[in-house]
Amino acid sequence: MGKKRKHSETESAAPPKKDDSAPERPKRTLLGWKDKTQDAEEPKPAPEFRNKEKVLVTCSRRISFRYRHLMLNIVSLLPHCKKDSKVEAKSSKGATLNELVELKGSSSCLFFECRKHKDLYMWMVKSPSGPSVKFLVNAVHTMEELKLTGNHLKGSRPLLTFSSNFDKDVHWKLLKEMLTQVFGIPKEHRKSKPYHDHVFAFSIVDDHIWFRNYQISVPHNEADKVARGGLDKMTLVEVGPRFCLNPIKIFGGSFGGPTLYENPFYVSPNQIRALEKRNKAGKFAKKIKAKTRKKMHEISNPLEPDEFADMWKDDE
Amino acid sequence: MSFEDDFVEDDEMNMIDEDVASDSEAESLSDSDSENEITEKLAEPTKTAVYNRDGLLDKLQDISWPEDVDWTHKLTVEIEQGQAVDVNDDLAREMAFYTQALEGTRQAFEKLQEMGLPFLRPADYYAEMVKSDTHMEKVKSKLLYEKKQMEEAEERRKARDNKKMAKEVQSQKMKERAKQKKDEIESVKKWRKQRQQSGFSEKGAGELDLEFGNGKSFQRGGGKKRPGVSPGDRSGGKGKPTSRMNNKKREFRDSKFGHGGRKGLSKQNTAETTNDFKGGFRGGKAGGNKRQKR
């Protein structure tokens, strides 16, 4: 399964290039099965490292069309993912989902949960013991929107760009690592395509993670060289989808566990709606109060009798 | 304090709710919420929020890949962010994302070029794309439509402007003409007065030259030639040419129904016409209708 190699193992494996240094199986590298003396070169620092990331993508029932399309878009963007059928509402508790992830043999999971047909929450979970994050998803634009005109190869590996404030704080670093692992396609994945023609942009603005996907269009002739000055003529066309993630909580376990981080600025959409309603409810009361105030004011300051009030009364 | 709990819970999840003020960020991003009453909340909730830095670091160590992994596995680029972007300003925000992606791609391409790896798709590499061809057709048609709309709007605006200009020019010309006419009339009047004063003497011819036309011959209507006015045309030459072409039809209808068209009485069978089954107005009807108003 997707068991990540710990640091200790890499250290022990690096100097001797023996088959049985790795715990699982004889390591297979690009050059074939690993033999004894073989490479004099040490360019591949962890030669046995293979990104065996597999993502399971599921959603809850009663998900609305826009969010379902978003999920399908993400499925098409990540060839190393596996889409599963909807999970029952009751079973969106930790244990069942954990079992599902284990069953499918994936190393991480993206679970889309839609509540009240309005709010979309996304869980990003590393299995089996990894941290999990719950996000509130906003500002969703799917790839089907006609204003997003770009297109790229299905399964080509994206370039991931992160804004520098991902390194400002620990929880952002953790999120950056998780995003890299989930959204970055493994190098020699069998469904991946060779060229890099799109780029993901993750930025933190206003404590939210904004995601954008652009197609790279450069005038070029050869596949591995850009024409001189070609880099300046590079344009990006947006492919989509677009969404904005608001981290709510980070847990130590998968789909649960001790809370490692809580977003202090997060307000649940229910609360926002409740607040709005309360404000609206107050309007009528305020109006009544204003009326009574006006009456009191009029009583306490009576108007002087108007001298012209009777002017027209005589001419009927 | 209201306690609304709708998430997938584990026992340790405590939601802090403040109904005093809620975050402007969350509301600026959720779709239809009120912008007026909501203010940014700052210090209060942070005190009670959990922030287990060590735990986070531990987990980070757990999941991260070994340090010396080749960059080609990760393909990540970090870009310096300029100044803080206002979330609500859409254009600036999107520009910031765009520049971030652009910078990142440049750096990545330079790296890849150094490594000598192919990274750009050759023109003849055809493979499945993430959006289907039919979808791209729709996109193209929409773009064309938008372009057409813009062009039409431009044309309309130009036409409007031209019309305005033309109107101005025309009014100018009219004024000029009127002025000229007035001048000419004035000059005639003056000449007549002169003649009167000088007692209708016979000489006068030399004095006329000044006023009249400077050699221009006088023509009625200002000398404008209107194309192809036939003598039988009573519209004065101003009518549209097509109306003359439909003349025959008009004449026939006029003769049948009187000038001004058919009034009513659309079904008019006379004793003679009841037995005509062949659409009998082909020659016999015109003028045979006694009931028509004239």
* Residue B292 pLDDT: 52
CA distance B67 to A14: 12
Please give the angle made by the CA atoms of B180, B184 and B190, to the nearest 5 degrees.
140
> For chain A, which residues make up each domain, given as ranges?
55-271
* Residue A316 pLDDT: 58
Identify the architecture of domain A55-271 in CATH: 3-Layer(aba) Sandwich (3.40)
Q: What is the pLDDT of residues B47-85, one digit of tens each?
A: 577 788 888 888 888 888 877 777 877 788 888 877 777
Q: What is the pLDDT of residues A299-310, one digit of tens each?
A: 998 888 777 777
Tell me: pLDDT of B235 over 60. Answer: yes
Give me the residues of B, 13-32, that contact A with CB < 8 A. Answer: 13, 15-19, 22-23, 25-31
Chain length of chain A: 316
Q: What is the pLDDT of residues B4-14, one digit of tens each?
A: 444 434 443 33
In a domain, B155, yes or no: yes
Q: Where are the alpha helices (DSSP H) in B32-132?
A: 43-48, 53-63, 71-74, 90-115
* Residue A170 pLDDT: 87
Give the containing element (helix H, strand E) for A112: strand A108-115
Nearest Cα residue to A242 out of A60, A54, A77: A77
Tell me: pLDDT of B117 over 80. Answer: no
Distance from CA of B155 to the nearest CA of A (A): 25
Of B28-32, B102-106, B265-269, B281-285, highest mean pLDDT: B102-106
Give the containing element (helix H, strand E) for A81: strand A81-83
Nearest Cα residue to A49 out of A106, A105, A10: A10
In a domain, B293, yes or no: no
CA distance A49 to A58: 28
Tell me: pLDDT of B35 over 60. Answer: no
Residue-averaged pLDDT of chain A: 80
The pairing of beta strand A242-253 with beta strand A256-262: antiparallel
* Residue B37 pLDDT: 36
Of the candidates B53, B55, B97, the beta carbon closest to that of A210 is on B97
B275 vs A173, higher pLDDT: A173
How far are the Cα atoms of A76, A116, A206, A273, B24 from residue B19, in angstroms, in the given order? 41, 21, 21, 11, 13
B128 vs B70, higher pLDDT: B128
Q: Do B73 and A51 touch (CB under 8 A)?
A: yes
ipTM over 0.85: no
| B169 and B148 belong to one structural domain | yes
| Whether the predicted model's global pTM rises above the 0.90 cut | no
Q: Do A271 and B2 touch (CB under 8 A)?
A: yes
Can you give the C-alpha Rg of chain A in angstroms?
29
* Residue B58 pLDDT: 85
Distance from CA of B181 to the nearest CA of A (A): 60
Residue B143: give the domain boundaries.
131-196
B50's tokens: 């959990």
Under-70 pLDDT residues of chain A: 1-48, 90-92, 220-231, 315-316
| B111 and B148 belong to one structural domain | no
Flag whether residue B87 sits within 8 Å of chain A, measured between CB atoms: yes
Q: What is the DSSP string of B248-266?
A: HHHHHHHHHH-TT---S--
Phi, psi at B34, each rounded to 5°: -80, 135
Q: Do B74 and A160 touch (CB under 8 A)?
A: yes
Q: Do A272 and B38 touch (CB under 8 A)?
A: yes
Residue-averaged pLDDT of chain B: 72
B86 vs A178, higher pLDDT: A178
Q: What is the pLDDT of residues B169-192, one digit of tens each?
A: 999 999 999 999 999 999 999 999
Phi, psi at B62, each rounded to 5°: -60, -45
Query: How many other C-beta atoms can be found within 10 angstroms of the C-beta atom of residue B94?
Result: 15
* Residue A205 pLDDT: 87
B13 vs B235, higher pLDDT: B235
Distance from CA of A79 to the nearest CA of B (A): 11
In a domain, B62, yes or no: yes
Mutation target among A29, A100, A185, A206 for the B interface, most CBs of B within 10 A: A206
How far are the Cα atoms of A59, A72, A197 from residue A142, in angstroms, in the given order? 16, 9, 19
For chain B, what is the domain count? 2
Residues of A in contact with B57 (CB under 8 A): 170
In a domain, B207, yes or no: no
Of the candidates A4, A250, A272, the beta carbon closest to that of B27 is on A272
Among B120, B154, B171, identify where a domain stops: B120
Cβ atoms of A52 and A43 within 8 Å: the answer is no
